[in-house]
Amino acid sequence: MSDNNKPTKKPNTASNSINIAKKGAAKNTPKKSASGKVIKPLRRASTAAAGNKTSSNKSSKTTASKESAKNRSNKLSSRIKKNETQGAYTSNKNRKNKKIIFNKASGASTRGGFESDKNRFRTIWGISLVILGLLIGRAFYLQVANAKFYQDKGDELITSVRTQKSYRGMITDRNQLPLAVSAPLSSVTFSPHDYAREYYEIKRIKVTNPEQPQLQARMQKRLEDMDLTRLAAAANMPVTELQKATAIDDNVDVTDAEAVKAALPSGAGSHYLPLLNKVTPEIAQSVSALDFPGVSEKNFFQRYYPQPQPNSQLLGFMGQNANDPDGGYEGRAGIERQYEKVLAGKDGKVLILKDAKQNSLKEIKQIEPEVVGQNVALTIDSRLQYLLYKELEKVGRLHEALWSTGLIVDVQTGEVLALSTWPSFNSNNLNEMTGENQRNRALLDVFEPGSVMKPFTVAAALDSGKYTANSLIDTNPGSIRVKGYTIRDHENYGTINMATLLQKSSNVASTKIALSLPPDAITNIQKKFGFGAKTPLQFPGEGSGSVVTPKEKETARRATVSYGYGLQVTLAQVAQAYSALAAGGVMHPLTLIKSDKAPSSQRIMEHEQAMSIVQMLESVTAPGGTAVAAAIDGYRVAGKTGTSRRVSPEGGYYEDQYRNIFAGIAPASNPRLVGVILVEDPRGQYYAGLTAAPVFHNVMKEALRLYNVPLDKPLQTK
């Protein structure tokens, strides 16, 4: 037993004797060379070796052996408890409920160590496979699934897409004279911030490279080219303004990035200083050709109207497109809006290469080709258009009218030769535009037409077969009572025929015709002639009006419809209907667009009946008629006046406000042109024969001359 395993109690004398005997025996044993660790045998000493001992020594030996065994048992028990506490004991029994991965290293059990390493191996490989899978998935996402996105992101850093504005098509009149054109313009701007940054960068290169004379010379040349005096002279502006904007400080330490950043211009105008605004490209070239740092040029097209006031409501105007990121313009009213897609074309797109400062270096390729807008040729004659507008302005100012409007139509084709409204605005300066003067009243406004509808009442009478052109109607005593209402003429005309009905504009005769026909007879004819529906012009915002067929018991309504009350029409519908009469009962749809292919026509009335009504209407401009002022020397003129009360918003009609209309046909023997004039609420004179008829006379006389229409009546001699 070794010294470390000695018992705490002191051994007796017998034990010492035994030990001495053993030491003596050891000394007598011959010596051996050491060949490794020598381990003492763990067996007890035999009784024969101690045969010469006394019985008392045997008793002492037995007692010592028992105490020694007890000590060994106690020490083994304490060692087991200590190993359990420190984790050194690794039997399977004690490892059941413990986590293998996080256990401390086992000391003795070979089986426990193998299982622990195997589980660690599996865990590490599992984690490695998960990480590898994530890396592969991420690589697939970046390089395959979402590769286009990141390619585009990369391209954005060095390329950009520039829009090539397409040229907007012109709007011309029937003779190819421009009514709306797009003029190329340029705006040149200057960035003091970019200029100063470039200036300080060149100075820095000079300071940091004193040993390179060639580089120094190049940088000095660039500084000389950046002289603000050159830019000021080309832009025709004071050089002091440019110097103040750039605020160059030659005392700045150009090698100190923070100092340079603090010296750069900032605030309003530091990145945008207009040099030239909306000038021709030739003028802008004088500045952009300098290749000056911070100078940029923007090219665009601006719409220009050579004849603005006469055409403003017809052509419309341009307005900014809220959906265009480049701030482009689009048609917002009139022809510009109606034919926006045709006129605008399609912008092109070009891919350009940029430098680090986002400056364009070169065009790489055409992404989308530019499609130039098409021209739109109108049926309008700009000469006649100007003349019509000046006459409308004249009558409007002379009679202090709210507004005046009119149309001239080619009877043979349905083409609108002139269409204008006063007051107007300058479509080149939209600051003059208001909600009132931008309305194309001939197409948008609806109203009760009054007596200009009486020719269609006569047409219904002839179409019914109950009446002929020579039929007589008794209007005595100049009034008629219908459902509690009294309908009157200006005087008692007695018994009259159809021509006199139109010449004197008899309400009583019209009422008697209407009440003698079926309830829908008048309105059916009115609808045939295009009333109650939009014209084929399909102008943006065009009114359709309304024609409501009265019932059998609605006697008063049947009467009022016959002389132009109780229905809503537009002036364009009146012009279309009179053109159909003048064409011998053939409806030629109205058109504003010049085309080689004539639109399809439709017969709505017998030729003889239609021309007989035109002949009746000649009496209106003859002596004794209501529109003598519409007569034109050398031509037979047919027409009809209409003077109606204006509707009050509070209900009923105004007592002192009227609407004057005149619709005329010339020449009556072989109709070629129809003119319709409306004057709203004139002051002083309120009869159409004194306000609207003279306008027709002045305009139609020049129109017949312009189109070389032969005379059909002897000229009067003074």
CA distances (Å), 106 to each of 83, 91, 164, in order?
10, 9, 79
Helices (H), 209-333: 213-225, 228-235, 239-246, 257-263, 281-288, 308-315
Strands 171-172 and 376-377: parallel
For 377-391, the pLDDT digits (tens) are: 999 999 999 999 999
Q: Please tell me which residue, 40 or 121, carries the higher pLDDT value.
A: 121
For 159, the 3-state DSSP assignment is strand
Would you say residue 642 has pLDDT above 60?
Answer: yes
Strand partners, 159: 353
Q: Please tell me which residue, 12 or 514, carries the higher pLDDT value.
A: 514
For 389-420, the pLDDT digits (tens) are: 999 999 999 999 999 999 999 999 999 999 99
Strand partners, 486: 481
pLDDT the model gives residue 39 = 46
CATH architecture observed for domain 178-342: Alpha-Beta Complex (3.90)
Gap between the Cα atoms of 506 and 498, Å rounded: 10
Residue 160: phi, psi to the nearest 5? -150, 160
Q: How many CB atoms lie within 10 A of CB 557?
A: 21
> Mean per-residue pLDDT for 291-314?
90
For 488-522, the pLDDT digits (tens) are: 999 999 999 999 999 999 999 999 999 999 999 99
pLDDT the model gives residue 685 = 87
Gap between the Cα atoms of 98 and 95, Å rounded: 5
Gap between the Cα atoms of 487 and 513, Å rounded: 14
Non-local (6+) Cβ contacts of 202 within 8 A are: 219, 222, 223, 226
Residues 198, 204: contact at Cβ < 8 Å?
Answer: no
65 pLDDT band (50/70/90 cuts)?
Answer: low
Would you say residue 590 has pLDDT above 60?
Answer: yes
Gap between the Cα atoms of 490 and 505, Å rounded: 9
pLDDT the model gives residue 14 = 41
Report the percentage of the chain scoring pLDDT > 90.
56
Please calculate the CA angle 653-696-692 and round it to the nearest 5 degrees.
20
pLDDT the model gives residue 68 = 67
Give kind and range of the element (H or E) at residue 608: helix 607-621
433 pLDDT band (50/70/90 cuts)?
Answer: very high
Strands 360-368 and 673-680: unpaired
305 pLDDT band (50/70/90 cuts)?
Answer: very high
Q: Please tell me which residue, 33 or 315, carries the higher pLDDT value.
A: 315
pLDDT the model gives residue 335 = 96
Lowest mean pLDDT among 63-72, 140-149, 434-443: 63-72
For 165-216, the pLDDT digits (tens) are: 788 999 999 999 999 999 888 999 999 999 999 999 999 998 899 899 899 8
585: left (phi over 0), alpha (psi -120 to 50) or beta: left
Non-local (6+) Cβ contacts of 12 within 8 A are: 60, 63, 64
- Residue 451 catalytic? yes
CA-based nearest residue to 540, from 322, 289, 250, 334: 334
> Mean per-residue pLDDT for 41-52?
45
pLDDT the model gives residue 325 = 60
> Mean per-residue pLDDT for 690-715?
95
pLDDT the model gives residue 362 = 67
Would you say residue 233 has pLDDT above 80?
Answer: yes
Q: E-assigned strands of 395-484? A: 403-410, 416-422, 472-474, 479-482
Instruction: Reply yes or no: is the peptide bond before residue 325 cis, omega within 30 of 0.
Output: no
Residues 427, 537: contact at Cβ < 8 Å?
Answer: no
Residues 676, 405: contact at Cβ < 8 Å?
Answer: no
Place of tokens 């049926």: 379
pLDDT the model gives residue 85 = 54
> Mean per-residue pLDDT for 662-685?
95
Residues 178, 343: contact at Cβ < 8 Å?
Answer: no
347 pLDDT band (50/70/90 cuts)?
Answer: confident
pLDDT the model gives residue 9 = 44
What's the whole-number average pLDDT of the chain?
84
Gap between the Cα atoms of 191 and 239, Å rounded: 15
Gap between the Cα atoms of 594 and 177, Å rounded: 13
3-state helix, strand, coil in the chain (%, to 5): 40, 20, 40
Gap between the Cα atoms of 669 and 615, Å rounded: 8
Would you say residue 70 has pLDDT above 90?
Answer: no
Residue 505 DSSP one-character state: T
Residue 483: phi, psi to the nearest 5? 50, 45
pLDDT the model gives residue 84 = 55
The structural domains of the chain, with segments of one domain joined by +, span 178-342, 382-428+439-707
CA-based nearest residue to 489, from 512, 515, 509: 509
pLDDT the model gives residue 3 = 44
For 516-566, the pLDDT digits (tens) are: 999 999 999 999 999 999 999 989 999 999 999 999 999 999 999 999 999
Non-local (6+) Cβ contacts of 605 within 8 A are: 459, 463, 528, 580, 581, 585
Gap between the Cα atoms of 606 and 459, Å rounded: 10
Lowest mean pLDDT among 69-73, 404-408, 585-589, 677-681: 69-73
Residues 479, 486: contact at Cβ < 8 Å?
Answer: yes
355 pLDDT band (50/70/90 cuts)?
Answer: low
Sequence letter at residue 549: T
Identified catalytic residue from 60, 420, 451, 506:
451
> Mean per-residue pLDDT for 84-100?
48
Gap between the Cα atoms of 299 and 323, Å rounded: 20
Lowest mean pLDDT among 85-99, 150-164, 284-298, 536-550: 85-99
Non-local (6+) Cβ contacts of 324 within 8 A are: 330
CA-based nearest residue to 567, from 552, 551, 545: 545
Lowest mean pLDDT among 141-150, 356-365, 428-437: 356-365
CATH number, domain 382-428+439-707: 3.40.710.10
50 pLDDT band (50/70/90 cuts)?
Answer: very low
Q: How many CB atoms lie within 10 A of CB 109?
A: 17
For 196, the 3-state DSSP assignment is helix
Gap between the Cα atoms of 679 and 553, Å rounded: 35
pLDDT the model gives residue 164 = 75
